[in-house]
């Protein structure tokens, strides 16, 4: 089930500098001093109306703690959010605090549009998980450009009944890519290709999970066309040819992998804690046979999704903006948010709460505790430079490889060439 922002708030939506006119720089270095007072504007991404009460409560608490401050909250819809942020940046009219994923922070920070928190709030780093703080580092540029806000990762869900029907052990699902291929080929053969193991081609994060190095050391060139990357694509090609990967997955704008799994036409899918509740209400016959296991990885480290808040250099009230950014993302507020949304804190203290460390016997708690545990050393495998245009190119080239129009090596060489072109 491909992770999307609309599904559970986390989605590494992509942005590109092309045509956005982010040519100038407003960058200012050093610590930010000044009194926390006055008005700021805080912009979020599709949190209304579901989380209105929570956000308004955080704002009220901040204003009470800092008399003389006013926080004006604006919430933008999901559709067109990235385009709007980049347009506002080009016009020099960004809000004082903005909700951005790392890949949107990349073009803004590269253009000098975001405050470097390593300098402006040097004591903040210790409050957050190291891997979450590192998600807002920009390759080739010193500093960190966002307070991590909320995280997500997820287990792998599989259909125990379909495993059993194919003669696979329902209590021993695959945990490595080699095991995944073996199980997928068996599933396709035993069901006469009526049930596929997988509903989607690999995304860029899957290359990271496989152990592929995505970029060179200074982040200026993509390298996922290595021998190891080719190995992954060739493995997917074998699964596709055998019927272990649904044909619809090759469609450029395909988003139906979750629906395939819920319809019990595929046997395994990556997901999140959010999905378990959806299965329970929308697919009870599937829910009765749900198996839950750890992510499939050759690295031993799961994939992490992260969202955060950044302070633009154009803010006229940086002291208050920085104070509010830290307040929104402090341990107490993150923990409270995690209990009303299916997300996880990026704060060290928030992740120590019993809510994330103790099971109560329910499947929901089992998923939550397991996911929280794996977040400790999880990795944001998607490079901050990787835009939606790059993802589209990768998907098209992977489809060509699956269909035999290109070799795996040629498909990845072409994808890397296009990604490097877009990066340049």
> Model confidence over 313-340: pLDDT tens digits?
999 999 999 999 999 999 999 999 999 9
- Are 8-28+36-153+304-375 and 156-301+387-423 equal in CATH topology? yes
For residue 316, count other CB atoms closer than 10 A to its CB: 10
pTM, 2 dp: 0.87
Q: What is the mean pLDDT of residues 274-299?
A: 92
Q: What does the pLDDT look like over 168-202, one tens digit per residue? A: 999 999 999 999 999 999 999 999 999 999 999 99
Is the CATH number 3.40.190.10 carried by domain 8-28+36-153+304-375?
A: yes
Query: What number does CATH give the domain 156-301+387-423?
Result: 3.40.190.10
Provide the residue ranges of all domains of the chain, joining segments of one domain with +: 8-28+36-153+304-375, 156-301+387-423
Burial group, residue 167, by CB count within 10 angstroms (0-12, 13-18, 19+) = exposed
- What per-residue confidence (pLDDT) applies to 28? 53
pLDDT at 19 over 50: no
């Amino acid at each position: 089930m491909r992770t999307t922002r609309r599904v559970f708030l986390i989605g590494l939506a992509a942005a590109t500098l092309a045509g956005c006119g982010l040519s100038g720089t407003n960058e200012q270095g050093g610590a930010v001093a000044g009194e926390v007072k006055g008005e700021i504007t805080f912009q979020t991404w599709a949190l209304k109306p579901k989380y209105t009460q929570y956000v308004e409560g955080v704002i009220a608490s901040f204003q009470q703690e800092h008399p003389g401050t006013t926080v004006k909250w604006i919430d933008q819809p999901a559709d067109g959010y990235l385009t709007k942020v980049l347009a506002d940046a080009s016009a020099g009219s960004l809000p004082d605090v903005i909700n951005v994923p790392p890949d949107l922070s990349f073009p803004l920070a590269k253009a000098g549009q975001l405050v470097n928190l390593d300098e402006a709030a040097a004591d903040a780093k210790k409050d957050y998980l190291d891997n979450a703080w590192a998600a807002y580092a920009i390759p080739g540029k010193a500093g960190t450009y966002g307070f991590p806000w909320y995280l997500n990762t997820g287990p792998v869900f599989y259909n125990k009944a379909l495993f059993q029907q194919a003669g696979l052990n329902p209590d021993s699902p695959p945990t490595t890519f080699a095991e995944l291929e073996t199980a997928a080929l068996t599933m396709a053969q035993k069901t006469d290709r009526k049930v596929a193991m997988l509903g989607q081609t690999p995304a860029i994060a899957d290359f990271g999970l496989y152990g592929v190095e995505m970029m060179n050391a200074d982040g200026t060139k993509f390298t996922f066309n290595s021998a190891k990357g080719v190995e992954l694509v060739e493995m997917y090609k074998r699964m596709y040819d055998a019927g272990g990967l649904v044909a619809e997955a090759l469609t450029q704008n395909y988003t139906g992998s979750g629906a395939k799994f819920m319809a019990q036409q595929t046997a395994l899918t990556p997901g999140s804690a959010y999905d378990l509740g959806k299965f329970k209400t929308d697919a009870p016959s599937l829910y009765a046979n749900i198996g839950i296991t750890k992510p499939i990885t050759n690295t031993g480290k799961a994939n992490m999704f992260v969202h955060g808040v950044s302070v633009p250099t154009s803010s006229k009230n940086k002291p208050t903006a920085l104070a509010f950014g830290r307040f929104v993302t402090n341990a107490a507020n993150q923990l409270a948010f995690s209990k009303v949304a299916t997300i996880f804190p990026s704060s060290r203290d928030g992740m120590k709460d019993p809510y994330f460390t103790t099971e109560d016997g329910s499947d929901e708690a089992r998923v939550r505790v397991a996911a929280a545990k794996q977040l400790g050393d999880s990795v944001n495998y998607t490079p901050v430079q990787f835009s939606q245009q790059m993802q589209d190119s990768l998907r098209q080239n992977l489809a060509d490889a699956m269909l035999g129009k290109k070799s795996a090596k040629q498909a990845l060489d072409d994808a890397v060439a296009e990604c490097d072109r877009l990066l340049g």
